[in-house]
Amino acid sequence: PPPAGASPGSGALNPFDRRLKRKQKNWAALQAEPAKCDYLREEVGGRIADRVFDITRTFPLALDVGSGRGYIAQHLTKETVEKLIQVDIAENALKNAVESEIPTVRVVADEEFLPFKENTFDLVVSSLRYPCPVCALQIHQVLKPDGVFIGAMFGGDTLYELRCSLQLAELEREGGFSPHVSPFTAVADLGHLLSRAGFNTLTVDTDEIQVNYPGLFEVMEDLQGKYKVYSLWKHQCMGESNCSWNRKPLLHRETMLAAAAIYQEMYGNSDGSVPATFQIYYMIGWKYHESQAKPAQRGSATVSFGDLAKIEGLLKRGKK
């Protein structure tokens, strides 16, 4: 667990309650059928593995930060990653990890306090974990020079249908609203965060995964695991319920019913279902090494971009 001084005193810098997050993930990992809520993590884990395969090299030692039940490892091969260390804050998630063909060591540790020496890993991967400044610095530190970090996280438009419905319902029934979904980051802030942590040759792209549900209550049941009308998001099947310091402990029954009606009216599909959108940011960053390609010096170009407009005319003349 993180040091006692890391929370709540550091709440001004880190929006999450790390101890609550650990309890949520441990609870979710002990559910009878955790795999029924893992479809999103498995899908994103497969897409991260595809990005690992795009790099034409073998990684002797890799680290999976916030591995959970091993959503990335199950898609990797031992020809690409020779040895893998999985780290997660929840010991129950590691105990129920999916088996992989890669030799694996599992370590219980907080992602913000990685217990590894500097320049240890050739590859670091992370799926759907918020890369706070501390965590980004830790990942950069444990990477070897010319090592690569490949990760994914929820984007700022994730669950916008649910958030908007809850806010409108609270404003109508209670005269104000508070956050019930953990905060997300913007893509511009993500690039800035990785750059400040020391990564270079950054690549950030975005994708959306939309899942249809019968209604708002089913959305929350899937997120929460077991839904209770009078106790909003105490736990969560996906392990991603709100753990921000300024979270509100509950919503009134009338507010929840109003939110369900708003959700259906504003976003409902023709068949009666409602969509839930998950925006995913994928990021790739490299730790500096002198062998890496360097950008050309400013002003060293020999061709102007203005000359590009002339290419078509030159090609036509060449054909003639």
Q: Whole-number mean pLDDT of the chain?
A: 80
3-state percent helix, strand, coil for the chain, nearest multiple of 5: 40, 20, 40
Domain boundaries defined on the chain: 18-290
Q: Convert the pLDDT of each residue in 278-315 to its tens digit.
A: 999 999 999 998 888 777 777 777 777 777 777 777 77
% of the chain at pLDDT higher than 70: 75
Higher pLDDT, 150 or 181: 150
**Candidates 3.40.50.150, 3.40.50.1010, 3.40.140.80, 3.40.605.10; correct CATH number of 18-290?**
3.40.50.150
Q: How far apart are CA 80 and CA 49, in angstroms?
A: 10
